[in-house]
Amino acid sequence: MAKPERVRLAAGPFTAELCPEIGGALTRFQGWGMDLLRPAHPDALVARDPLGMSCYLLIPFSNRVRNARFTFEGRSYELARNFGAEPNAIHGNGWQRAWQVEETAAAAARLVLVHDPARDGAAAWPFAYRATEEVALAGDGLDIRLTIENADTRRMPAGLGVHPFFPLTMAARLTARLGGVWLAEGHEAVPPAWNFAHGAPVAPLSVDHCFTGWTGPAVLEWPERRLRLTIAAAPLLRNLVIYVPRAHDYVCVEPVSNVNDGFNLAAAGVPDTGVVVLAPGEKLSASVKFRPERLSRA
């Protein structure tokens, strides 16, 4: 099977590619000839596998819905288990759908996804919605803006975010001010091993958790590459998922609106889940900015 078509953007020292067919995902982001996101793997492009992309979209919710079930306004809903053997529903359905190109220019593109549960399946998501992805390059970096509109006749819960994959080196460092973290036992203070407030190495860690109270920005540095990248997000995206898998060459730093299993936590009365309830016709929108810098020699 051939690789899918990609939309290519360029501005100043930066270039980017995105693939409408594979969830509207970014497949590359470069500056000064260096990869700023992990480039999409060629095999993943052929296989149309979003997990092998540079950055995919989280919509209409971020992270998991436990056991693929949630309750909203007194009614229970079952979702498709969409992540292999995983018992949960993961990241909504936007990352696994083909998006449509609405507009392109030399340095910007707008993609659209329309979800109709009657046509596309209520198990994918039981409410109708329309989503827009706007990607723009400028002389100082990359912007991604996501919007979701409730196209249903009922109120619906919603969330959104982005899932970028950054190159991981042994010298890579992360700086981020975080208020707490969701663990299996519940919401806890950030343990010392995951305290990135003053910058800490990333490579020795193994972590996959949602951190709350992110007061941004988050900064990744690669000293040996003389490179720094700042991630800034709209206030709506006040939670940060950090994922450092063992024996891999990437780190994920994901600005998101809702915490893991936010729908069920909100139904149980837990505050500050980040879940937003949209009335019919109402929209939710947020942007993420990636600002790379070249560091001078020591």
Predicted TM-score (pTM) of this structure = 0.96
* Local structure of 265: helix, strand or coil: helix
Cα of 157 vs its chain's centroid, Å: 18
| pLDDT value, residue 298 | 57
Do the Cβ atoms of 218 and 268 come closer than 8 Å? no
CATH architecture for segment(s) 7-294: Distorted Sandwich (2.70)
Q: Helix count (H) and strand count (E) of the chain?
A: 3, 26
3-state DSSP call for residue 270? Answer: coil
**Residue pair 157/59 in contact by the 8 Å Cβ criterion:** no
pLDDT at 203: 87
The one-letter code for the residue type at 236 is L
Spatial distance between the Cα atoms of 28 and 15, rounded to a whole number of angstroms: 8
Residue ranges of the chain with per-residue pLDDT less than 70 = 298
Question: What token pair was written down for 249?
Answer: 């060459």
Pick the closest to residue 231 from 37, 71, 6 (CA basis): 37
Handedness of CA 67, 275, 123, 6 (dihedral sign): negative
Q: What is the pLDDT of residues 207-243, one digit of tens each?
A: 999 999 999 899 999 999 999 999 999 999 999 999 9
Both structure tokens of 224: 């040996």
Q: Report d(CA 263, CA 258) in Å as an integer.
A: 8
Largest CA distance in the chain: 60
